[in-house]
């Protein structure tokens, strides 16, 4: 089973790459599903085939789906949404405003992730290609299971007990709507549906991300940050794809300076993503939509390689033993010492890189140990834990 996450800055051509990757995998004989976590679906445009919430056959061994997250949300989040609408209505917000506030940012993408997990568990497919939302939304999306797990494990049980204890008193003293048991049950069902997403997506034997970029400064810089943050959250990146590279046949003097600029950026990408295969796609002279043209993209991108293969085998997160000490190793490429902060609080280790923070729940073997030191070198953050007796 393989899951390929195709992501990149908006407008770089990630949907085209995702569609071509899925088609190439299907041509190899893999039962392939392509789906999208981007609320602004464009897979149907890429294949020039009508696509909806129902899984539709696109070609031999290839199926597609544009998930209707609103319908999933109504089924799984309905009781919670209704309570929040009631609460907002009590506070003075009504109608559309209350409805909008009852759905938290990122909820639709979470339900899309849950759908991917269910399709992976079904055994119906060998390869699932996910056309992700633009990088900022993708990073938020992939960090949500961690955040939700922390909330459900640490806050949710206490909150439910407190509400259950005070509901009879508060309901008589004030008119504020108090959450009923069915609200908490709906939230628990929602969490249970998402349970396992983190494990599935962070297993590099199953899931890898592929970053799509153009040879442009701002795009490359964002891709470098994405590479770092995906590694921080334990997601393996196994390819960097540079799209819209000027081909050699373009000899017009008008493009001479632009070709020189692209050459510098291509060298920068090769250096920044050392250890990760870089693939190049030329700038085509027409829009590459439809099965035939997407197959041309796939052939140029992968050649004789199977797109379902893992192109690198490094682990972004591991635990090593050094004598009587244990070292937690996180791969955090392309960062400086000033960008990284490490803090231990209780049974959690907090790692901050730039504006993103990850909370790592320490395994039992490390909970009894104290952090001795943290060191950043060669793209790895090494956090050393001393012996249990200190």
Q: How far apart are CA 10 and CA 291, in angstroms?
A: 22
Dihedral sign, CA of 95, 83, 93, 158?
A: negative
Checking if the pLDDT of 32 tops 70, the result is yes
- pLDDT at residue 245, as a whole number: 96
Q: How far apart are CA 216 and CA 264, in angstroms?
A: 10
pTM of the model: 0.78
Lowest mean per-residue pLDDT among 17-21, 70-74, 264-268, 344-348? 70-74
Which contacts (CB < 8 Å, 24+ apart) does range 157-166 have?
160/184
CATH architecture, range 317-385: Sandwich (2.60)
Query: Domain spans of the chain?
Result: 2-69+198-302, 317-385
What is the secondary structure of 141-189 as a DSSP string?
Answer: HHHHHHHHHHHHHHTHHHHHHHHHHHHHHHHHH--S----HHHHHHHHH
> Band of the pLDDT at 124, cuts 50, 70, 90?
very high
Lowest mean per-residue pLDDT among 138-147, 220-229, 263-272? 138-147
The residue-averaged pLDDT of 21-41 equals 92
Q: How far apart are CA 303 and CA 53, in angstroms?
A: 32
Q: At 321, is the secondary structure helix, strand, or coil?
A: strand
Q: In the chain, pLDDT over 70 holds for what percent of residues? A: 73
> Band of the pLDDT at 48, cuts 50, 70, 90?
very high
Q: Mean pLDDT in the chain?
A: 81
The residue-averaged pLDDT of 352-371 equals 81
- pLDDT at residue 146, as a whole number: 65
Q: At 331, is the secondary structure helix, strand, or coil?
A: strand
Checking if the pLDDT of 376 tops 80, the result is yes
**Matching fold, domains 2-69+198-302 and 317-385:** no
Residues 6 or more apart whose Cβ sits within 8 Å of residue 84: 98, 101, 102
- pLDDT at residue 169, as a whole number: 40
* H or E, element range at 320: strand 317-322
234 with 36: CB under 8 angstroms?
A: no
pLDDT digits (tens, 9 = 90+) for 304-346: 999 999 998 777 778 888 888 989 898 888 888 999 999 998 8
Ranges assigned E (strand) in 9-139: 32-36, 56-59, 62-64, 127-131
Cα–Cα distances (Å) from 309 to 23, 157, 290, in that order, read 14, 42, 24
Q: Which residues of 230-239 are buried (b: 16+ CB within 10 A; e: fewer)?
A: bbbbbbbbbb
Lowest mean per-residue pLDDT among 15-24, 98-107, 194-203? 98-107
CATH number of this structure's domain 2-69+198-302 = 3.40.50.300
| Token pair 């030329």: residue | 282
18 with 131: CB under 8 angstroms?
A: yes
Q: In the chain, pLDDT over 90 holds for what percent of residues? A: 40
């Amino acid at each position: 089973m393989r899951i390929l996450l195709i992501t990149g800055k908006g407008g770089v051509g990630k949907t085209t790459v995702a569609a071509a990757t899925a088609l190439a995998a299907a041509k190899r004989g893999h039962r392939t599903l392509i789906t999208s976590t981007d609320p602004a679906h464009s897979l149907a445009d890429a294949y020039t085939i009508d696509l909806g919430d129902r899984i539709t056959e696109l070609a031999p061994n290839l199926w597609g789906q544009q998930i209707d997250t609103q319908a999933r949300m109504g089924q799984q989040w309905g009781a919670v949404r209704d309570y929040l609408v009631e609460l907002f209505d009590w506070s003075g917000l009504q109608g559309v405003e209350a409805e909008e506030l009852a759905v938290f940012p990122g909820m639709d993408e979470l339900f899309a992730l849950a759908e991917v997990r269910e399709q992976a568990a079904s055994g119906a497919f060998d390869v699932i290609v996910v056309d992700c939302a633009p990088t900022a939304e993708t990073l938020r999306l992939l960090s949500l299971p961690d955040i939700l797990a922390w909330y459900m494990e640490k806050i949710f049980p206490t909150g439910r007990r407190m509400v259950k204890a005070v509901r009879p008193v508060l309901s008589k003293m004030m008119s504020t709507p108090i959450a009923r048991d069915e609200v908490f049950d709906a939230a628990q069902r929602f969490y249970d549906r998402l349970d396992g997403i983190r494990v599935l997506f962070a297993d590099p034997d199953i899931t890898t991300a592929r970053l799509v970029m153009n040879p442009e400064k701002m795009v490359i810089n964002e891709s470098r940050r994405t590479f770092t943050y995906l590694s921080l959250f334990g997601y393996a990146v196994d390819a960097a794809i540079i799209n819209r590279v000027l081909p050699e046949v373009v000899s017009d003097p008008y493009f001479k300076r632009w070709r020189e600029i692209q050459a510098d950026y291509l060298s920068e990408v090769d250096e920044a993503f050392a250890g990760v295969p870089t693939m190049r796609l030329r700038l085509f002279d027409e829009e590459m939509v439809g099965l035939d043209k997407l197959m041309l993209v796939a052939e140029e991108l992968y050649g004789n390689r199977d797109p379902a293969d893992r192109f690198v085998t490094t682990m972004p997160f591991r635990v090593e033993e050094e004598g009587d000490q244990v070292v937690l190793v996180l791969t955090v490429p392309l960062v400086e010492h000033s960008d990284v902060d490490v803090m231990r609080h209780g049974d959690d280790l907090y790692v901050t890189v730039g504006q993103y923070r990850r909370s790592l729940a320490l395994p039992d073997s490390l909970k009894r140990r104290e952090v001795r030191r943290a060191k950043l070198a060669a793209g790895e953050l090494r956090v050393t834990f001393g012996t249990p007796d200190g």
